Amino acid sequence: MTLFSAIHTLTGPPRRLVIVRHGETWDNAAGVWQGQLDSPLSDRGRAQATAMAPLVAALAPQRIVSSDLSRARDTAAAISWATGIPVALDPRLREIHAGQWQGLTSQQVKERDPELRAAVLAGEDLRRGHTGENLAEVLARCSEAVGEIVAELAPGECAVLVTHGVAGRCIASAVLDLDLDLAWRVLGGFGNCHWSEVVEGARGWRLTSWNVGAPAGDVAGADA
């Protein structure tokens, strides 16, 4: 039994989770591995957040919980302004730590660390940048945080989770009880200021939308 099946007790209207990725940062635009570096939103990222916020607000959330990194926090603030709901911060929703790759461009990682990069791209769940996290570790900490949030939701309530590209897919994987490798192949990318919704059903959680974005937020950017 998984964490989310254990807290699955559909006795009324279904609970919902809306998973939101932060807006574009200057590092996204430059192709830099951010990991847990606190990269600010770019001008385009702020415009994306402004365009996205009323659309997510229309999903009628009761809670907003965000990664404490500023790119997620500032994205969540736009949703807070549109809904009037305060933002709670949880560092467990942070992006994967990319170790020695943080601050390097994708080309620099390719040149300096070709073997590890190739292994990660091939699907091996190794620590990013040697000293960072692997996906299993991100999955564990995100699952713990989201499990607590779901357990506190009343029937019919919705929580918005503002997070990152890799962390967002790990959250979806956990709630939907998908193997990480399967989730990466099936779900695909998660664009800046795009969102996805999972809804509680009679037999567990189901994905009702993935990687939805406002027209101004239609950019993918680098995951980490």
User: Which positions are annotated as active-site residues?
Assistant: 22, 95
Which residues neighbour 131 within 8 Å (Cβ) at sequence distance 6 or greater? 99, 100
The number of angstroms, rounded, from the C-alpha of 97 to the middle of its chain's C-alpha atoms is 14
Task: Say how far apart CA 224 and CA 221 lie, in whole Å.
Answer: 9
Q: Are 18 and 184 in contact (CB under 8 A)?
A: no
The residue whose two tokens read 């996805």 is 196
| DSSP 8-state secondary structure symbol assigned to residue 159 | E
Token readout for 152 is 């506190």
Task: Say how far apart CA 77 and CA 33 lie, in whole Å.
Answer: 24
Token readout for 101 is 């790759």
Q: Are 22 and 212 in contact (CB under 8 A)?
A: no
